[in-house]
Amino acid sequence: MARLSLRNLVKRYGQTEAVRGIDLDVADGEFIVLVGPSGCGKSTTLRMIAGLESVTAGTLTIGDRVVNTVEPKDRDIAMVFQNYALYPHMSVYRNMAFGLRAAKRPADEIDRKVRQAAEMLGLTPLLERRPHELSGGQRQRVSMGRAIVRDPQVFLFDEPLSNLDAQLRGQVRTEIKRLHQAIGTTIVYVTHDQVEAMTLADRIVIMRDGRIEQVGTPLEVFHRPRTQFVASFIGTPTMNLIPIPVIRIDGQPALRLEAQVGASPLVIPVTGARAGALEGHAGVTVGLRPDDLRVLPASAATDQALQGSVVIAEPLGPTTQITVSSHGLDLVGMGDGHFLPKAGERVTLTFDPETLHFFGPDGARLGA
């Protein structure tokens, strides 16, 4: 187990900068998930930590040792690959023993460690099988077993679930989390799937264009996204983002959502500490999570309500996800699971102004 720290880490391929100077401190035993769209530099960062890519600039420290130019094998790390990288011509046992044999450990130690790891992962009955005789989930466990036997200070996972079908993904996700609780090793985990990131991480690192957008616990990044990008990346369905001009009513800022012909505009007063955040802005982008936007039958009249017509209603069981056309926008909201309006039906949308997120023109969060 060890701390891991990245200081102003840069990776350049010729002219292109894949990682543009990132800083990150990972605590001992922490489960960190790097998440972001493809090309954001998350995999490159992981591969630099592994030593599979050289570091262009900056410092990479594992434990108390700067490892910028240390060979991968001497970094005391283990990596689980997206395609598992299990050698097809070797049995599960030989696959798991490979690293220890490479390190020239004595045979009895290899045997003990492999059997111990196999026991822990429920692989004992499969030790003599070949990878092609295993299911996707079992292969994933073997690749974890191969990492465990080396007893590394840091585990690196490179999109380990993306080759599994949806149902298995949930199962293996649980297994990875349980493994982390059992052995408590520091884990750096890369994924493009924000659900994986939310469910697994102690802290999530959201990356974009080679930079870190936000580092925080899953709840922090969900409830207080620091940028518009993070707000739209984390959470399904995606947050509604609405550009709205800021007006003033009695000296207080307010938001005015223009209506289409024949309807009245909606004015949302902003009060308290949040009002200060809007000072000096002619317009903001308002973020509203679909879960915070309630869709009700048209008959239910409330304050702070928008009127609109249903574009599509998708029943999810406990709730219904409803896309509503209102004020010239397509907004996604949630209705009761038994409420299944037809396309074109009029509905009422309501929300608590406190749940709104404000983002400035540069995409940065405004206010707390």
* Residue (153 or 227) nearer to another protein, CB: 153
Shortest Å, Cβ 79 to another protein: 5
State the Cα–Cα distance between residues 350 and 246, nearest whole angstrom: 20
Alpha carbon separation from 365 to 27, 34, 248, 270 (Å, rounded): 27, 21, 21, 16
C-alpha–C-alpha distance, residues 115 and 188, integer Å: 25
CA 178 from chain center: how many Å?
Answer: 19
By beta-carbon proximity to another protein, the closer residue of 86 and 204 is 86
| Closest separation in Å from C-beta 99 to another protein | 4
Q: Is 132 near another protein (CB under 8 A)?
A: no
CA-nearest of 301, 298, 305 to 265 is: 305
Work out how close the CB of 46 gets to another protein at its nearest, in angstroms, rounded to a whole number.
11
CB atoms under 10 Å from CB of 144, counted, come to 25
Report yes or no: 146 and 98 within 8 Å, Cβ to Cβ.
Answer: yes
Taking the complex as a whole, the smallest distance from the CB of residue 323 to another protein amounts, in Å, to 41
Beta bridge mates, 349: 295, 306
Which 74-113 positions form the footprint of another protein (CB under 8 A)?
74, 77-79, 81-83, 85, 87-90, 98-99, 101-103
Q: Is 50 in the site for another protein (CB under 8 A)?
A: yes
Q: Cβ 163 to another protein, closest distance in Å? A: 12
218 binds another protein (CB under 8 A): no
Site pattern 177..216 for another protein (x: CB under 8 A): ----------------------------------------
The nearest distance, CB 130 to another protein, in angstroms, is 11
Q: Does 131 bind another protein (CB under 8 A)?
A: no
Nearest to 96 by CA among 173, 85, 106: 85
339 binds another protein (CB under 8 A): no
Q: CA–CA separation, 218 vs 366, rounded Å?
A: 20
Please give the helix or strand (H or E) that residue 58 lies within, else none.
Answer: strand 57-62
163 binds another protein (CB under 8 A): no
Residues within the interface to another protein (CB under 8 A): 50-52, 71-74, 77-79, 81-83, 85, 87-90, 98-99, 101-103, 146, 150
